[in-house]
Amino acid sequence: MRKGEWASAPCHGLMGAFHLRGPCSFDLVIISTGPDPIEYENEGKLWEHVSVSLKHRTPNWTEMCWVKDLFWSEDELVVQFHPPRSDYVNHHPYCLHLWRPLDGHIRTPPSIFVGPRQAIKQPA
């Protein structure tokens, strides 16, 4: 976006506000922030953050994966949080967020909890 409240300039790189046609042929509004020199309350970590929204529905898995791959490499771990309801902040009814701490450390459960690792043919 080059004009308005969320305007960003080419010198900002991947940080700013964007309107992009997503992989499911719907317009996505994407806002990316970080790294920021402010250390937030969450363990003093610095975060990279991307929000993704659509006008009339929440982004789906395919769209969120597509956005993740735009902003991070395929070998980087990025998360979506489901915070306690008392910590909810909702400025848009159809928005989801992706997060990555700059120190790169996110604990993950064993993959076997999801299922065995085997080659599964993905739908085209």
- Domain boundary assignment for the chain: 10-106
Give me 31's structure tokens. 């806002």
Distance CA(44)–CA(114), nearest Å, equals 31
pLDDT (tens digit, 9 = 90+) per residue, 20-74?
A: 999 999 999 999 987 655 555 555 568 889 999 999 999 999 999 999 999 999 9
**Of 121, 113, 56, 49, nearest in space to 81 by CA:** 49
Q: What is the pTM of this model?
A: 0.76
Task: Please report, as a single letter, which amino acid is at residue 8.
Answer: S
Please give, one letter per residue, the 3-state secondary structure of 9-50: CHHHCCCEEEEEECCCCCEEEEEEECCCCCCCCCCCCCEEEE
